[in-house]
A and B are shown apart, each in its own frame.
Chain A
Amino acid sequence: MTDATQSDTAFRPKPSLPPPANTVGAVGWLRKNLFGGPVDTILTVVSLYLVYLIVQFAIEYGIINAIWSADTYRECLDINRGEGACWAGIGVWFNSMMYGRYPDEEQWRVNLGGIILLLWLIPFWLPKITGKIQIGMSAVLTFPFLGAALFLGGEFGIFLHVMASVALTLFAAVWLHVATTYVFGRSLAELLVSATGFAGKDDRLHKYVLLGAFGVGFVLSLVYLGSWDLVEIPTTIWGGLFLTLVISGIGIASALPNGILLALGRRSKMPVIRVFCTAFIELFRSVPLITILFMAVTMMPLFLPVELNPPKLAMVIVAVCIFAAAYMAETVRGGLQAVNKGQYEAAQAMGLNFWKMMALIVMPQALKLMIPNIVGSFMGLMKDTTLVSIIGLYDILLMGKAAGQNPNWLGFHTEPLLFTAMFFFVLCFAMSKYSQHLERTIGGGYGRR
């Protein structure tokens, strides 16, 4: 342009030489990342050999020598002498490992429950939706009751009936909300208020509209649930992955609220509450889950009156909830300590009371900081759920063991273990990736890389 024409004598750098051929392209990448020096080269070679060994074994055991169709384990053994997997057995026992002894013709209830939960949580990932916290809370707090009513069936009692109706109403509300948001661009609440002509009136009146709408929905679902006529499926025949997910699901859902309460109790200024919460947390954090489970099945029957006699699953769930809450409490406490003291003081200066300060100022910051740890505890809990097999609940692991005791499948032992491991890997890996995603999107802005 104009500069270039000013003078031919001005300094003009020659174009850079291309980088040496061995520092770019595939060769460069290899040199830089794999063969940087003698030590690097040795490490690379050793690693490559390791990878080769693992892959070779996996292919031989899992594919080349594996048997894909057989009626008994003996058939598999006769063909491959145990040198390959007998995936045929997984096919035969797949249904059992998923649902336990839940009757085949009723398994749609489990599937339906799973679908409802998924649908309930989908709005979480939809960008336009408002009130995601409320949606999440409604799912966590009320879905267990709807699930219990659906999975249990039979005469489930007035309490469960009411709670399940609440859940159903909220579920319908969530999806109506999604629909109105996408169709009319307004939230369900706004739409209801304006449709009933309350839009111009005092804000305080709006909640009556919402309560009224909720009441109508509630009555409708109460009647609808009353029309249900499901066969009763006692908890003793629940099993497989379904049972694993029920136990860890309730544990996970209850962990955060209970953990927050315990953590607040431990930091409370009231000595009795502080001592009680500290003792509770320390007691249940310092013993292995397996002892708590043993306690639930061997000691609780002695602690409770004979007439009460709760089923084993209920006691195990309570044990898992207690354990999860104690762990979560320490995680939350870590988050609370990390929140700057100025935040507390500012909140108090604004005249917020204790619960408002916690809910609006402190907790959002503390929990954001702790997302990786919270998800880590959830994953830990999910993995620990396998321990219920030791005390005789038919989760996916024990169901796999039971398969190996069937006269036709005697010795069928390693394949269910591998199958179970694969399931947990997929579930937990997905959770950990999601937590990293969360950390990047909402946990940002706190000085983390």
Chain B
Amino acid sequence: MAVVDKAGPRKDARSFSEILNDERYRSVFYQVIVALAVIWTANYLITNTAENLQARGMSAGFGFLGSTAGFSIAWSIIDYEAGDTYFDVYLVGIANTLIVSFFAIIATTFFGFIVGVMRLSKNFLVSKLASAFVEVMRNVPLLLHILFWFTLSAALPSPRDKENQIALFDSVFLNNRGLYVPAPVPGEGFNIVVIMALIGIAAAYGVSVWAKKRQLDTGQKFPAFWTGVGLIIGLPLVAFVALGSPLSFDYPSLQGFNFQGGADVPRAFCALLFALVLYHTVFMAEAVRAGILSVSHGQTEASYSLGLKPSWTLRLVVIPQAMRAVVPPMISNWMNVVKNSSLAIAIGYPDLVAVFMQTSLNQSGHAIEIVAMVMLFYMTVSLTISAALNYYNKIVQIKER
């Protein structure tokens, strides 16, 4: 019977399993297998690719980046015109992705704090409204948000519809083409104003360092914050007035079919920004709410009993501790904003994926190079942000004894 037999061969098995269970041998063995598997897979893919490219008479390599792209791009923040190269298209795509992500991140962070605090509000209607907002926004795919807001924004007045034009001081216009704002045109001597602003920032930093040192040494406080604000605003303002306002504005105005002049962003940009902000605000708000709840009430009470006034309690006790819980999800939310801006492709905002991975890939057929370049960009952004996050985490980590 099986029971009897089992005792016999066991001894050998154990000595064999001892070798197998020796961590040194085993780990080397596993690693060699994994390394071989990776190398074999890579080799397999590369061989296939070379064969396939040859069979189809297609060429590989980055040479195509220098050739003319031949299509125009609806909107870009850096100069581009039809006839520029594919590499210029890549740069335009990156710039457009970064600009929309930048504004989305700022707005998301701002509104996220507001909604997060609103959800904790004692006002029944406000907190319920904030909860409903959170639930509706986060349970619908972002792609649907983007399509929906883009479709809805078509209902804005057309630029030629003078009566219903949404305008602010006759200089900022919002219509179904996009948002038009006056463009600043720096005059002569404007760079002096910029230099003064930089000096102001440097001086403000110096003052704050000095003030902190003085407080540590003597216990006396110095209004470093307001001094800094004064320096940063005051210095360039003085220079600006002294030089006779060397800055004019180019106002948008209706000429022909459209508004001309000024600076503009297309409707797709506005819709994408709006959708990104709505969707990601919710995640930001949840992070803020969780962060504030994570600070135990005892901290506040302890701070009061030490005699700190409420505003100091908030600034010196609650927020620093809440931030420890808020910052990591906040930054990964930022990363998601950058990545999700790639959904712009659905509504024709010319971001990196749309102009490079869609249009350029279609026209040039260099799939591998283009996909690799796009991935490289996103990886660079993400890894930079996560490196910053790791650095921050190291600073704020609770120092364990």
Asked if the two chains touch in their complex, CB atoms less than 8 Å apart, one says: yes
| Shortest beta-carbon distance from A274 to chain B in Å | 10
- With a CB–CB cut-off of 8 A, which chain B residues contact A305? 48, 51-52
Q: Does B148 lie at the interface of the complex (its beta carbon under 8 Å from any beta carbon of A)?
A: yes
Chain A residue at minimum C-beta to C-beta distance from B353: A290
Q: Which A residues from 319 to 364 make CB contacts under 8 A with B?
A: none
Q: What residues of chain A lie closer than 8 Å to B49, measured between beta carbons?
A: 302-303
A272 in the interface, Cβ–Cβ < 8 Å? yes
Q: How distant is the Cα of A285 from the Cα of B53 in the complex, in angstroms?
A: 29
B343 touches A432 (CB 8 A): no
Cβ contact within 8 Å between B371 and A424:
no
Chain B residues whose CB sits within 8 angstroms of the CB of A306 once the complex forms: 52, 55
Contacts of B144 in A (CB 8 A): 386, 397, 417, 420-421, 424
Query: Nearest-CB distance from B356 to chain A (Å)?
Result: 10
In the complex, what's the smallest C-beta–C-beta distance from A37 to chain B, in angstroms?
9
Taking a contact as CB atoms under 8 Å apart, the answer to whether A36 and B123 are in contact is yes
| Binary contact track B208-238/A, C-beta < 8 Å → 1, others 0 | 0000000000000000000000000000000
Judged by DSSP, the binding face of A is helix
CB–CB A202/B3 < 8 A: yes
B339 interface neighbour in A43, A272, A287, Cβ under 8 Å: A287
Q: In the complex, which residues of chain B have a beta carbon less than 8 angstroms from the beta carbon of A269?
A: 27
A43 to B31, CA, bound (A): 62
- How close is B303's CB to chain A, nearest CB, in angstroms? 21
- Report which of A204, A379, A384, A413 forms a contact with B139, defined as CB distance below 8 A: A379
B190 at the A/B interface (Cβ < 8 Å)? no
Q: B244 at the A/B interface (Cβ < 8 Å)?
A: no
Interface of B is mostly: helix
The stretch that binds B, out of A4-12, A135-143, A291-299, is A291-299
CB-CB nearest in chain A for B344: A290
Check A428–B353 contact: CB distance below 8 A.
Answer: no
> Does A273 lie at the interface of the complex (its beta carbon under 8 Å from any beta carbon of B)?
yes
Of the stretches A47-55, A146-154, A191-199, the one at the interface is: A47-55
Interface string of A239-273 (1 = CB under 8 A from B): 00000000000000000000000000000011111
Instruction: Determine if B122 is an interface residue (Cβ-Cβ < 8 Å).
Output: yes
CA of A44 to CA of B122, assembled, Å: 11
Q: Contacting B371 at CB < 8 Å: which of A289, A298, A414, A418?
A: A298
Q: Is A236 an interface residue (CB 8 A)?
A: no
Contacts known (A288-B342, A397-B144); A303 close to B45, Cβ less than 8 A: yes
Given A285-B382, A299-B368, also A424-B140 (CB < 8 A): yes
Docked pose: A389 CA to B121 CA in angstroms: 40
Interface residues of B in 371-386 (CB under 8 A from A): 371, 374-375, 378-379, 381-383, 386
A291 and B368 contact, CB distance less than 8 A = no
Contacts A270-B30, A303-B49; A47 near B293 (Cβ below 8 A): no
Say whether A397 contacts B3, CB under 8 Å. Answer: no
Complex contact B378–A286 (CB within 8 A): yes
The verdict on A59 contacting chain B, using a C-beta distance below 8 Å, is no
Cβ-closest chain B residue relative to A201: B3
Cβ A272 vs Cβ B34 within 8 A: yes
User: Among residues 105 to 161 in chain B, which have CB atoms less than 8 Å away from a CB atom of chain A?
Assistant: 121-126, 129, 135-136, 138-144, 147-148, 151
List, in ascending order, chain A residues with CB within 8 A of B342's CB: 288, 290-291
Q: Is the CB of A47 within 8 A of B129?
A: yes
> Which residues on A sit within 8 Å (CB–CB) of B345?
290, 390
Q: Which residue of A lies closest to B290 (CB)?
A: A372
Q: B367 in the interface, Cβ–Cβ < 8 Å?
A: yes
Using Cβ atoms and an 8 Å threshold, which residues of chain B touch A44? 123, 125-126
Q: Could you tell me which residues of chain A, from 17 to 49, have a CB within 8 Å of some CB in chain B?
A: 32-34, 36, 40, 43-44, 47-48
Q: Does B357 contact A (CB under 8 A)?
A: yes
Known: A384-B141, A397-B143, A429-B139. Contact between A291 and B374, CB under 8 A? yes
Contact of B31 among A47, A272, A379, A420 (CB under 8 A): A272
A425 contacts the other chain (Cβ, under 8 Å)?
yes
* Chain A residue nearest to B121 in the complex (CB): A43
The number of A-B residue pairs with CB atoms under 8 Å apart is: 157
Is B314's CB within 8 Å of the partner chain A? no
Of B52, B53, B121, B125, the most chain A CB neighbours within 10 A belong to B125
- In the complex the two chains form, what is the Cα distance from A429 to B132 in whole Å? 11
Q: Are A383 and B141 in contact (CB under 8 A)?
A: yes
Query: Is B38 an interface residue when CB atoms closer than 8 A count as contact?
Result: yes
Task: Verify B34–A33 contact, CB threshold 8 A.
Answer: no
* Residue pair B371, A294 in contact (C-beta under 8 Å): yes
CB distance from B250 to the nearest CB of A (A): 36
A291 touches which one: B31, B138, B335, B378 (CB < 8 A)? B378
How close is B281's CB to chain A, nearest CB, in angstroms? 16
Shortest distance from the beta carbon of B324 to any chain A beta carbon, whole Å:
14
Q: Which of B124, B139, B142 has the most CB of A within 10 A?
A: B139
Q: Tell me whether B52 and A291 are in contact (CB under 8 A).
A: no
In the complex, the answer to whether A417 meets B147 with C-beta atoms within 8 Å is yes
Chain A residues with Cβ below 8 Å from B138 are 379, 428, 432
Q: Is A304's CB within 8 Å of the partner chain B?
A: yes
Q: Closest CB of chain B to A19's CB: distance in Å? A: 19
Smallest Cβ-Cβ distance to B123: which chain A residue: A40
Decide yes or no whether B361 CB sits under 8 A from chain A.
yes
- Mark interface residues in B29-48 (1 if CB within 8 Å of A CB, else 0): 01110110010000001001
Q: In the complex the two chains form, is A424's CB within 8 Å of B34's CB?
A: no
Q: A273 contacts which of B34, B361, B367, B378 (Cβ < 8 Å)?
A: B34
A40 to B121, CA, bound (A): 10
Residues 180 to 211 of chain A near chain B (Cβ within 8 Å): 202, 204-205
Does the CB pair A421–B52 fall under 8 Å? no
Is B165 positioned at the interface, with any CB of A under 8 Å from its CB? no
Whether A417 pairs with B148 at a CB distance below 8 angstroms is: yes
Does A33 contact B124, Cβ atoms closer than 8 Å?
Answer: yes
- Given the complex of chains A and B, what is the CA–CA distance between A272 and B141 in angstroms? 38
Residue of A nearest to B293 (CB): A449
Residues of chain B from 341 to 361 with CB closer than 8 A to chain A in the complex: 342-343, 345-346, 353, 357, 361
The closest CB in chain B to the CB of A272 belongs to B31
Partner of B382, one of A286, A414, A417, A425: A286
B49-83 contacts to A, CB under 8 A, are 49, 51-53, 55
Cβ contact of A386, chosen from B35, B143, B383, cutoff 8 A: B143
Q: Find out whether the CB atom of B122 lies under 8 angstroms from the CB atom of A33.
A: yes
A282 within 8 A of B: yes
In the complex, are the beta carbons of B346 and A390 less than 8 A apart?
yes
B379 touches A286 (CB 8 A): yes
Q: How far is the CB of B256 from chain A (nearest CB, A)?
A: 29
Is the beta-carbon distance between A47 and B141 smaller than 8 angstroms? Answer: no
B313 in the interface, Cβ–Cβ < 8 Å? no
Enumerate chain A residues within 8 angstroms of B357, measured Cβ to Cβ. Answer: 291, 294
Asked whether B340 is an interface residue with its Cβ less than 8 Å from the other chain, the reply is yes
- Given A283-B379, A303-B48, A306-B52, A43:B123 Cβ within 8 A: yes
- For this complex, 22 residue pairs linking A to B, each with C-beta atoms less than 8 Å apart, are A44-B123, A47-B125, A270-B31, A276-B38, A282-B383, A286-B339, A287-B374, A290-B342, A290-B343, A290-B345, A291-B353, A291-B374, A291-B378, A302-B48, A302-B53, A305-B51, A383-B140, A390-B143, A413-B151, A424-B144, A425-B136, A427-B139
Binding site for B on A (CB under 8 A): 32-34, 36, 40, 43-44, 47-48, 50-51, 202, 204-205, 269-273, 276, 282-283, 285-291, 294-295, 298-299, 301-306, 379, 383-387, 389-390, 397, 413-414, 417-418, 420-421, 424-425, 427-429, 432, 449
Interface residues of B (CB under 8 A from A): 3, 27, 30-32, 34-35, 38, 45, 48-49, 51-53, 55, 121-126, 129, 135-136, 138-144, 147-148, 151, 293, 335, 339-340, 342-343, 345-346, 353, 357, 361, 367-368, 371, 374-375, 378-379, 381-383, 386
- A-B pairs, top 3 by smallest CB distance, nearest first, are A286-B382, A33-B124, A428-B139
Inter-chain pairs besides A386-B143, A421-B148, 5 sampled, C-beta below 8 Å: A40-B126, A288-B343, A302-B367, A302-B368, A421-B141
